[in-house]
Amino acid sequence: MKYWQKLYLSVLILFIVCLGGGFAALAQYSIHTSYNERKDAFLSVQHIVAERLSSDMTAVRKRDPGAVLPLLRLYVERMRRQGYMFWVEDAEGNTYGYLPMTAELAAVRPGERGYQVIKNEADGHRCLVAVTALSDFRFGLGDDLDAFFRDWHRTLLRYLILVLSLVLLLAVGLFFVLQRLNRPIRELEAEVDRITEGAPKQQKIQAADRQDELGELARALDQMETTVQQQMQELKEESQARQTLIDNLGHEMRTPLTAIKGFAQFLQRTEQDPEETFKSTEIICKESDRLLKLSEALVQLSVLRHEAPKMETVHLKDLLQFAVDSTRTKAEERGVSVQLRAEEDTVLQGAPALLESLMINLIDNAVKASKPGDRVSVTAEGRCVRITDMGCGMDPETLQKIEQPFFRADKARSRQEGSAGIGLALCRAIVDAHGASMTFQSAPGTGTVVEIIFYDSATT
Amino acid sequence: MARILIAEDDTSINMLIAANLRLVGHTPIQVYDGIEAVQAVRTQHPDLLLLDVMMPGLDGFSVMEKVRDEVPVIFITARTGLEDRLQGLGYGAEDYIVKPFEILEVLARIENVLRRTHKNQNEFRIKDVRVDLDGRHVYLQDQEVTLTPQEFQLLEILIINRNLALSREKILETAWGYDYEGDTRTVDVHIQRLRKKLNLEQEIQTVYKVGYRLQTGGKG
C-alpha cells in the first residue's frame, strides 16, 4: 500500500471513529434527557390526577354513590384528550378503563406508586405505565411512547445521514488534498528510479524549489546525484588508467621474457661457440636487468601512490651535486658534459632518496637525448631547478604523452639502453608527492628544458 | 635456403629470431623499423617477411599495405587483442605469431608459409644421404632407402629443425600427431632405426635431458 493511501485510510478511519462516536454519545445523552423529562412530566401529571381523583371519589361517594361511574367516564374522557390511558380498579376487583399490566404493578401496596415501561399487547406500542394504590381503589395512568420513539428514530436517522455526508465530503476532500501533497513525493520517487536506472537527467526537479522538508530532500537528492556521478566518473577514469597500465605492463614484460626464454632455449638446444654463448647470456642478463628495473620502479610508484613519503630537511645544492656526480660517468661515456650552477643554498622539506631519484632520472634523460659534445646544464635559483639539454627535443604531441607509463619517444633507442619506460611517470609521482610542479618546454631540434618548482608548503 | 627479412624493433627479439633462423639454414636480414623494412623488401627481395606490428617510424600495418604484393608476411604481435589478428589476416598476412612465442612454433609456421609459396628446400644433403623432401624419397650413396611413413616424418622434422634439439614429446606430437597414445620410447626406437638405415650415428645426436638433434656441423 502506498504511503498516501495509508495516510488517507488512517485519517478517514480516525474521522469516522471520532465523529460517529461523538454523535452516538450525543444521541445517547439526548434520548436519555428527553425520556427523563417526559417521564417526570408524566409522573407529576399522574400524581396530580391521583390526588384529584381521590378527593373527587371521596366527595362523590359521600354525596351520591351512583355518580361514581359518570365521574370516572369524565376522567377517562379528559385523560384521553390529554393523550393518556386511564384505569381504575375498586376494592371489589371491578376495573374501569384499560392499561397493560405486569405483576409488579398489580402488587403495588396501598399508599405507594409503581411505574414501568410495558409493551402493549393490543397494538405492540411501548407504554409508560404508573399505578398508584389508594385507600380503597387503584388508579393507573398510561402514556403511549410510540410517537416519542418514532420521533427519536427519525432524529437518529437524520444524525446518521449528516455523519455519512460529512464522511463522504471528507473522503473526497482528503483524496484530492493528499493527491496534491503527494505529487512532489511521486516526483522524487521517479527521480530516484531514474538515478537507479542510470538514465541521464532530463529536467530540473520541481520539488527542489519548495521550502519544506521535501524541498530539502529534493535538493539533497540532486546534490547526491552530482556527487555520485562525479565519483563514478573518477572511478571510471582511475580504473581505465589502471587497466591501461596493466595492459602496457603485460606488454612490457612479455618482450624481455620472450627474449630471455628464447635465448635460454637456444642455449639448451643448440651447440654454439663461446662467442655465441656469451652473446646469448649477455642478452639474458640485459633483459633480466630491464625487468628488475621495471619492477623496482613499479614498487616505488605504487608506494608513492599509497602513502606520503617521510619529509626531512634537504639541501638542494648538495642534492643536485650528488645527482650530477652519479650521472657523470655515463654522460662522459657518451661525450656529454654535465654542469651544475647553484649559487645559494636552498633548504627544502622532502624525501632525500626520492628527490635524488627524480633528479638523476631527469639528468639521465637529458644526457640520453644529447649528441656527443653537447652540454647538459643543471641550474638552481631559489626553489626552482632547471635541467636544460641541447638534444633532439620533442614535438608537442610527444610532449603530451611522455609522462604516460611505457610511452617511449624513441622506442628502439630507449629499450636498447635498458630503460624501463616508466621513469617520467615515477618523476611525476615524486613531484606530486612533494606538492611541487614540473613543466617541460621543448621543440624538435632545440633541446628540452625541464623546470621544477618547489613551493613553500612543500609537504602534503 | 630462404632469405627471411626480420622487421622487429626490439634488438633482443630480433637477434633471437635471427640466431634460430641461421641455425636451421635460413639467411636472416635484420631491420629495426618500418621504413627500413620497406626499403629492404624493395632492394633485397626476401622470400618472407616477419613483421612486428608496433614499430617506430612506420607500424606493421602500414608496412604491410606497401609491400603486400611483393612478399609473403607473417605478423609478430605482442598484443593479443582479436582486432589485431583479424586485421592482420584481413590485410593479407599469411599468419601471425603472438609474443611470447616458442621458437619451434615460429620455425614451423615459417616452414608452412615457405611450402605454400614453394620457397622451401626440396633437397637436403648430409654425409652420404640425400633427401628429396617434396618427393619423399631418401637415398644413401645414391641407393634409395625404404623408410616407413613414420620414419620419414621423423626425419623431416629433424631436418626442418636441424641443429636444434627437439624433445621426445615434441617429436611425438609433431610426427605422430597430437592424439597419438604412444610413449616416448616409440621415438627412441624410431631414432635408432633411422640412425642405422641412414648411417647417421654421429649426426643424429642425443642431447642430455632434452631429446634429439640433427647436427649438420657447419651452419646451414
Query: In this model, does residue A388 exceed pLDDT 60?
Result: yes
pLDDT band at A409 (very low <50, low <70, confident <90, very high): low
What is the residue type of A385? Answer: V
A258–B19 CB contact, under 8 Å: no
CB-CB contact of B55 with B9 (8 Å): yes
A415–B33 CB contact, under 8 Å: no
CB-CB: which of B16, B79, B100 is closest to A266? B16
A256–B12 CB contact, under 8 Å: yes
CATH number of A204-307: 1.10.287.130
- Listed by number, the residues of chain B in 189-208 with a beta carbon closer than 8 Å to a beta carbon of chain A are 207
Residue B16 touches partner A, C-beta closer than 8 Å? yes
Mutate to test the interface with A, among B6, B8, B9, B12 (most CBs of A within 10 A): B12
CATH of the domain at B20: 3.40.50.2300
**Of A281, A127, A268, nearest to B103 (Cα)?**
A268
Other C-beta atoms within 10 Å of A456: how many?
9
Say whether both B158 and B95 belong to one domain: no
- Listed by number, the residues of chain B in 51-70 with a beta carbon closer than 8 Å to a beta carbon of chain A are 54-56
Chain A residues whose CB is inside 8 A of the B9 CB are: 411-412, 415
Q: Tell me what pLDDT residue A414 has.
A: 55
pLDDT digits (tens, 9 = 90+) for A70-90: 888 888 888 889 888 888 888
Q: Indicate whether B159 belongs to any domain.
A: yes
Q: Tell me what pLDDT residue A290 has.
A: 84
Chain A residues whose CB is inside 8 A of the B13 CB are: 255, 258-259, 262
Using CA atoms, how far apart are residues A266 and B106, in angstroms rounded to an integer? 13
Q: Indicate whether B219 belongs to any domain.
A: no
Residue B120 touches partner A, C-beta closer than 8 Å? no
Q: Tell me what pLDDT residue A278 has.
A: 93
A262–B207 CB contact, under 8 Å: no
A269–B16 CB contact, under 8 Å: no
Say whether both B155 and B108 belong to one domain: no
Residue of A nearest to B24 (CA): A270
**Of A355, A405, A409, nearest to A385 (Cα)?**
A355
Residue B173 touches partner A, C-beta closer than 8 Å? no
Using CA atoms, how far apart are residues A387 and A378, in angstroms rounded to an integer? 5
Name residue, grid cell 423529562: A37
Assigned C-alpha cell, A245: 597500465
Domain A308-460 grouped into CATH 3.30.565.10? yes
The mean pLDDT value of chain A amounts to: 85
Say whether both B14 and B87 belong to one domain: yes
Assigned C-alpha cell, A107: 402488587
Q: What total of structural domains would you count in chain B?
A: 2
Using CA atoms, how far apart are residues A178 and A205, in angstroms rounded to an integer? 20
Query: In this model, does residue A95 exceed pLDDT 80?
Result: yes
Q: Coil, strand or helix: which one is A271?
A: coil
Per residue of chain B (220 residues), give pLDDT as tens.
789 999 998 888 999 999 999 988 899 999 998 999 999 999 999 999 999 887 877 888 889 889 988 999 998 887 666 555 656 566 778 888 887 788 888 999 999 999 888 887 788 988 889 999 888 899 999 899 999 988 898 999 999 899 999 998 888 888 877 666 667 788 899 999 999 999 888 899 999 888 999 998 654 3
Q: Indicate whether B55 belongs to any domain.
A: yes
Chain B residues whose CB is inside 8 A of the A255 CB are: 10, 12-13, 78, 99
Percent pLDDT > 70 in chain A is: 96
A287–B12 CB contact, under 8 Å: yes
Query: Domain containing B84: what range?
Result: 3-116
Residue B30 touches partner A, C-beta closer than 8 Å? no
Alpha-carbon radius of gyration of chain A: 57
- 3-state secondary structure labels for all residues of A70-128: HHHHHHHHHHHHHCEEEEEEECCCCEEECCCCCHHHHCCCCCCEEEEEEECCCCCCEEE
Min Cα separation A430/chain B (Å): 29
Q: Indicate whether B97 belongs to any domain.
A: yes
Question: Of the residues B101, B116, B131, which one is the last residue of a structural domain?
Answer: B116
Q: Indicate whether B13 belongs to any domain.
A: yes
Question: Of the residues B84, B116, B148, which one is the last residue of a structural domain?
Answer: B116
Residue A31 touches partner B, C-beta closer than 8 Å? no
Say whether both B22 and B105 belong to one domain: yes
Say whether both B70 and B110 belong to one domain: yes
Residue A280 touches partner B, C-beta closer than 8 Å? yes
Question: Of the residues B116, B137, B158, which one is the last residue of a structural domain?
Answer: B116
Min Cα separation B32/chain A (Å): 8
Instruction: Give the pLDDT mean for A311-322.
Output: 89
Say whether both B102 and B130 belong to one domain: no
Q: Coil, strand or helix: which one is A370?
A: coil
Residue A266 touches partner B, C-beta closer than 8 Å? yes
CB-CB contact of A368 with A416 (8 Å): no
Q: Tell me what pLDDT residue B219 has.
A: 42
A257–B100 CB contact, under 8 Å: yes
Min Cα separation A452/chain B (Å): 30
Q: Tell me what pLDDT residue B45 has.
A: 93
Instruction: Give the pLDDT mean for A325-352.
Output: 87
CB-based contacts of A343, cutoff 8 Å, min separation 6: A380, A381
A259–B10 CB contact, under 8 Å: yes
A283–B16 CB contact, under 8 Å: yes
**Partners of B74 in the β-ladder:** B50, B95
CB-CB contact of A141 with A85 (8 Å): yes
Alpha-carbon radius of gyration of chain B: 19
**Partners of A442 in the β-ladder:** A448
Q: Indicate whether B10 belongs to any domain.
A: yes
B164–A287 CB contact, under 8 Å: no
Q: In Å, how far are B7, B10, B51, B78 from A254, measured between CA atoms?
A: 18, 12, 17, 7
CA angle A87, A88, A89 (to 5 degrees): 130
Q: Tell me what pLDDT residue A415 has.
A: 55
Say whether both B90 and B156 belong to one domain: no
Half-sphere exposure of B67 (CA within 13 A, CB side): 33
Using CA atoms, how far apart are residues A165 and A354, in angstroms rounded to an integer? 86
Q: Which of A158-162, A287-291, A303-307, A382-386 has the lowest mean pLDDT?
A: A303-307
Say whether both B128 and B83 belong to one domain: no
Q: Tell me what pLDDT residue B220 has.
A: 38
Chain B residues whose CB is inside 8 A of the A280 CB are: 19
B165–A280 CB contact, under 8 Å: no
Mutate to test the interface with B, among A249, A251, A270, A419 (most CBs of B within 10 A): A270
**Residue of A111 and A267 predicted with greater confidence:** A267
CB-CB contact of A334 with A300 (8 Å): no
Residue A415 touches partner B, C-beta closer than 8 Å? yes
A266–B56 CB contact, under 8 Å: no
Percent pLDDT > 90 in chain A is: 18
A262–B56 CB contact, under 8 Å: no
CATH fold of the domain at A3-151: Beta-Lactamase (3.30.450)
Q: Indicate whether B220 belongs to any domain.
A: no
B164–A269 CB contact, under 8 Å: yes
Say whether both B93 and B166 belong to one domain: no
Residue B219 touches partner A, C-beta closer than 8 Å? no
Using CA atoms, how far apart are residues A299 and A308, in angstroms rounded to an integer? 14
Q: Which of A189-193, A336-340, A408-412 has the lowest mean pLDDT?
A: A408-412
CB-based contacts of A115, cutoff 8 Å, min separation 6: A39, A43, A46, A105, A128, A129, A130, A131
Q: Tell me what pLDDT residue A395 has.
A: 81
Chain A residues whose CB is inside 8 A of the B99 CB are: 254-255, 258
Angle between helices A213-269 and A274-306 in degrees, nearest 10: 170
Using CA atoms, how far apart are residues A91 and A133, in angstroms rounded to an integer? 11
Chain A residues whose CB is inside 8 A of the B15 CB are: 279, 283
Using CA atoms, how far apart are residues A13 and A170, in angstroms rounded to an integer? 11
Mutate to test the interface with B, among A244, A247, A257, A258 (most CBs of B within 10 A): A258
Q: What sign has the CA pseudo-torsion A154, A160, A164, A166?
A: positive
Residue of B nearest to A277 (CA): B19
CB-CB: which of A255, A263, A266 is closest to B99? A255
**Of B125, B108, B104, B107, nearest to B200 (Cα)?**
B125
CB-CB contact of B70 with B40 (8 Å): no
pLDDT digits (tens, 9 = 90+) for A210-239: 888 888 888 888 888 889 889 999 999 888
- Domain residue limits, chain A: 3-151, 204-307, 308-460
Min Cα separation B144/chain A (Å): 30
Q: What is the ipTM of this complex?
A: 0.84
Q: Coil, strand or helix: which one is B123?
A: strand
Say whether both B21 and B81 belong to one domain: yes
